[in-house]
């Protein structure tokens, strides 16, 4: 009887911990979507901050890549500092962002420069907190449910779309209210999970309980994994300090990899390295698109484009709660291959969708595709590299977020800038100002060359130069010309979604390869430390 009571008590404790972790993830989604909606508001980005699409991508990216830094750093030390300390740190950061964002908006009229800085750097603080949430919730849940990791990680990560839905609906419905109130709603779920978890006793991580050494944990990640992190960190340093010595930053990246290699003396597991490479386009497909979707579709719909993100998030939330039977039916890799096909179809359909019914049908395809990407990848990493403990489980998320923050968001913004130029060039030359379009292309004098850390090269329309061309036309035709240009620009961003289908296409190729590899070994099977592996 006492054994049954103890078992029931442990199960109750685990579920209380699980739901606390679930609400913590909801809080990260609150911070993500409210800040993204803020940056999709032209009154903020154009009037207050004077940003072009790629620069908006940088402001969005600042709340992504620090997420990766915190999750990776805490993965290295979380077994030392403890899950509770990590939870408290996350709570403080998320609360600090609410204060910074509200303060920025209150002073925007009198000191727009300081307001811009607070909004920008507040994104970094928020990201550090959000990353730390992932750093403790993933290993906690994987440890509590070590025999069914993929199922419970999928259920846990229903909290992400769940938070997007709740915060997204609230933000849209509060359209007439000040942004200070919209940004402040993150405090509600933050306080709930803090009060739930601050008195809890967290379990020992699976790797720690099994006695796997710290060095062995890092060896699963290895030099190859460290090299990817070093590259992405170097790019971010070059972006943050554009006037600095880039060779110094390259040296920092190399030193990180060498130090890691000297300690571990391991290249890392080849499977882990392949999963790392897949995670970068995966994160861009899901998080990158989610972050841009409202701005991209704004000119394609007559309603608030945020409803599209809310709609896809509802689908994700529901399906992740029922991930268990789906995973058992298809296997993790089978599920991911199907997800890639649906994501490709969804992105291609969204890029040209017109009309409410067609847009939501395309969004349904995209939602079905992206639903299982993130948590199922975490499940595979945890199931195949259990000796990696919190490090491999969280580092895969960190690298994904680092990639989408440093490369994904700016790249999607650059794609939109390119599509804008293409759209103007395809407008009939007869309707445009003389000389603006030459041989089907926009004249170079109407373009401005730009670059993001010397890797992403793109051009933007020089509005003043375009207006100069318009003024060269007959006065009677000038308004017609302006209208044609405006119409071409308005529908251009949506077309960038088709280019993004290359990311799930690459992932599909990789997943098919992994499926064939496991099939040659008798099929996909989870690895358990307790079984002697």
**Domain extent listing, the chain:** 11-417+496-531, 418-495
Q: Which residue has the tokens 């939330």?
A: 317
Select from 294, 370, 290 the least CA-distant residue to 335.
Answer: 370
In which residue ranges of the chain is pLDDT below 70? 1-12, 48-55, 205-206, 209-210, 240, 242-244, 291-292, 294-296, 298, 427-433, 439-440, 452-454, 489-491, 529-533
CB 268 within 8 A of CB 221: yes
Select from 211, 56, 25 the least CA-distant residue to 135.
Answer: 25
CB 316 within 8 A of CB 329: no
Q: What is the pLDDT of residue 274?
A: 94
Region of 319 on the Ramachandran plot (φ > 0 left; ψ -120 to 50 alpha; else beta): alpha
CB 279 within 8 A of CB 272: no
Q: What is the pLDDT of residue 270?
A: 92
CB within 8 Å of 348: residues ≥ 6 apart: 497, 498, 501
For 134, the token pair is 């992932």
Q: What is the CATH number of domain 11-417+496-531?
A: 1.20.1250.20
Q: Would the pTM count as exceeding 0.85? A: no
For residue 365, CA distances in Å to 304, 370, 496 come to 20, 9, 17
CB 434 within 8 A of CB 392: no
Q: What is the pLDDT of residue 278?
A: 95
Q: What is the pLDDT of residue 5?
A: 46
d(CA 157, CA 224): 28
Select from 276, 400, 285 the least CA-distant residue to 345.
Answer: 285
């Amino acid at each position: 009887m006492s054994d049954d009571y103890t078992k029931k008590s442990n199960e109750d404790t685990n579920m209380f911990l699980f739901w606390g972790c679930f609400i913590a993830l909801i809080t990260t989604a609150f911070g993500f979507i409210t800040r993204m909606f803020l940056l999709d508001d032209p009154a903020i980005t154009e009037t207050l901050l004077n940003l072009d699409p790629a620069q908006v991508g940088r402001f969005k990216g600042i709340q992504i890549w620090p997420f990766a830094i915190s999750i990776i750093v805490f993965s290295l030390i979380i077994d030392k500092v403890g899950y509770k300390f990590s939870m408290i740190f996350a709570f403080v950061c998320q609360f600090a962002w609410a204060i910074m964002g509200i303060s920025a908006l209150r002073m925007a009229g009198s000191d727009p420069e300081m307001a811009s800085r607070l909004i920008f750097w507040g994104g970094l603080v928020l990201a550090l907190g959000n990353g730390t949430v992932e750093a403790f919730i993933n290993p906690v849940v994987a440890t509590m449910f070590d025999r069914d990791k993929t199922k419970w990680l999928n259920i846990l990560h229903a909290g992400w779309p769940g938070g997007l839905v709740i915060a997204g609906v609230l933000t849209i419905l509060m359209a007439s209210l000040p942004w200070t109130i919209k940004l402040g709603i993150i405090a509600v779920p933050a306080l709930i999970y803090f009060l739930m978890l601050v008195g809890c006793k967290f379990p020992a991580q699976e790797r720690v309980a099994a006695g796997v050494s710290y060095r062995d944990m890092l060896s699963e990640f290895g030099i190859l994994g460290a090299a990817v992190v070093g590259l992405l960190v170097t790019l971010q340093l070059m972006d943050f300090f554009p006037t600095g010595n880039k060779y110094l930053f390259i040296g920092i990246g190399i030193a990180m990899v060498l130090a890691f290699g000297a300690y571990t003396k391991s290249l890392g597991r080849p499977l882990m390295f392949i999963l790392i490479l897949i995670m970068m386009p995966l994160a861009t497909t899901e998080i990158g698109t989610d972050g841009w979707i409202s701005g991209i579709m704004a000119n394609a719909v007559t309603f608030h484009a945020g409803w599209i993100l809310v709609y896809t998030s509802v689908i994700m939330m529901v399906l992740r709660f029922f991930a268990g039977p789906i995973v058992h039916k298809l296997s993790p890799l089978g599920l991911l291959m199907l997800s890639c096909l649906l994501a490709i179809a969804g992105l291609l359909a969204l890029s040209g969708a017109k009309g409410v019914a067609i847009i939501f049908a395309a969004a349904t395809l995209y939602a079905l595709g992206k639903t299982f990407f993130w948590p199922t990848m975490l499940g595979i990493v945890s199931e195949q590299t259990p000796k990696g403990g919190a490090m491999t489980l969280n580092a895969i998320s960190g690298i994904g977020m680092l990639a989408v923050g440093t490369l994904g968001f700016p790249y999607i913004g650059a794609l939109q800038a390119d599509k804008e130029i293409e759209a103007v060039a395809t407008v009939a030359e007869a309707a445009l100002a003389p000389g603006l379009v030459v041989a089907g292309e926009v004249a170079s004098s109407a373009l401005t060359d730009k670059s993001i850390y010397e890797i992403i090269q793109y051009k933007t329309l020089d509005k003043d130069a375009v207006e100069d061309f318009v003024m060269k036309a007959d006065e009677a035709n000038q308004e017609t010309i302006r209208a044609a240009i405006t119409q071409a620009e308005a529908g251009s961003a949506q077309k960038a979604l088709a280019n993004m289908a290359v990311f799930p296409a690459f992932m599909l190729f990789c997943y098919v390869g992994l499926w064939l590899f496991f099939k040659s070994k008798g099929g996909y099977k989870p690895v358990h430390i307790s079984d002697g592996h």
